[in-house]
Amino acid sequence: MIKSLDRKLAAIHADANCREFILADAKDADMALGLGAPGKSPEMHAGEVRFKTLEEYREQMRLITRQGLVDIMLMSASSNHALTFRERLFDGSAVTPAVRANDTTDIHLARGAGYAAQPARPFRTASIDHIQCGHLDCAPEERALGADLGLYSVTFNNDLERDMETLEHFHRFREEAERKGFRYFLEVFDPNIPSAIAGDILPHYINDTITRMLAGVSPSGRPLFLKIVYHGPKAMEELVRFDPHLIVGILGGSSGTTRDAFQLLSDAQKYGARVALFGRKINHAENQLVFVQFLRLIVEGQIGPVDAVKAYHAVLGKLGITPHRSLDMDLKITEQSMSYVSTPAVVVPVPARPVVAPPAAPSMDGGLIAAHAAASSGNGAHPCACQGTTAPSSTSCACKTPKVTESLATTRTQGLPASSNDRPDFTTMSPADRLAYHRRRLGLGR
């Protein structure tokens, strides 16, 4: 199957004004946060720190990959081995597996550690061979067994000695990657030392640093796209305008409110970003599958950020899921951390916008998403007391809602793009096609 990432990259390079947009779920936080990466367990009690398990973390990777609305699933090398090698999760999927290829010291965030407060140092735990074939010294024919895409991260602190060390490690990685046929995208973090550079010049420092270092790299060694902090319209437009073939993506930073996530995505796309990689924003959502579906609806222009928040809350209500925040609070825009650490110097610009009106009724899109989420059980748990372990005992049990089965879904694709196994091919559907598919799936006609 053609991966949606490859199709979209080709389309963007062919026409810089096309509306293709790449979404990635960043589930690589175990290379930064350790035990805390999967998030807090719902079973925790007051005063207790209890995290979800690694298996629960990977189950979300499976669910979101099977949903087919993201283009990239970014993982640690160990999760890649479990899902890509052992389970063959991405065979026959349009989603591309990717692996964090290095882990600079500013993301070494063990509880009690102070590494992130010191200037970032380059470091690489994963090896390209392990990512590609699962062991050292891959044979040429083995390199296609695993992932062929990685995230390489750099952090500059306006410090000559440290930044030269970072560039030298990046140089060695590029050469090895090219020899082994390994693709990468480049994450450029803002300085992790607050005093590194003045805030008003920081966005331009980052833009100049990126374009300067890539000027010496020929196409065969360049990243597929960038992953950077969104510093507002001016900085984004400046970088996008400089080179239409330098595809710019944004990182999500801290979870924030739902409005923060939806607004960031909408604003970044408006001013030229073509990729968004959200980690904590997805992982901390009440229902990750529904949250991802709204991200896709936003970039396809079917719904705006404010209406998306309202509809998202309506879906949670239909599923019996209690939101983390009230709707009024979730409609607020806040200053968001754009670093793994909790108190960074860098925040997302907060646009001046009027106060949001009270919530309106959910749209048809919200209803379609609710039905899809009920069928998919987005967080791997039933929204009622039965927890899926026994037959529903009351007529009010949400598990009594008819589930859309896989066999039914495959019979609703008449006239719409389908893959070789007659499954709906969402990656080649237009927004209108997707709406038509969901209407047929739910028995609503065209």
Q: What is the mean pLDDT of residues 226-247?
A: 97
Q: What is the mean pLDDT of residues 235-248?
A: 97
Given pLDDT bands bounded at 50, 70 and 90, which one contains residue 223?
very high
Q: What are the structure tokens assigned to 29, written together?
A: 């936080």
Q: Is the pLDDT of residue 107 over 90?
A: yes
Q: Which residues contact 119 (CB under 8 A, 6 or more apart)?
A: 157, 159, 162, 192, 193
- State residue 307's pLDDT score: 98
Percentage of the chain lying above the pLDDT 90 cut: 71
**Strongest mean pLDDT among 243-247, 382-386, 436-440:** 243-247
Task: Considering only residues 313 and 400, tell me which one the structure prediction assigns the higher pLDDT.
Answer: 313
Q: Residue 95: which of 64, 116, 119 has the closest Cα?
A: 64
Identify the residue whose tokens are 């009230």. Answer: 326
Identify the residue whose tokens are 């040429």. Answer: 140
- State residue 380's pLDDT score: 40
- State residue 254's pLDDT score: 86
Q: How far is CA 15 from the centre of its chain?
A: 24
Cα–Cα distance for residue pair 228/249, rounded to 1 Å: 6
- State residue 188's pLDDT score: 98
- Output helix, strand, coil percentages for the chain, rounded to the nearest 5: 40, 10, 45
Task: Considering only residues 70 and 349, tell me which one the structure prediction assigns the higher pLDDT.
Answer: 70
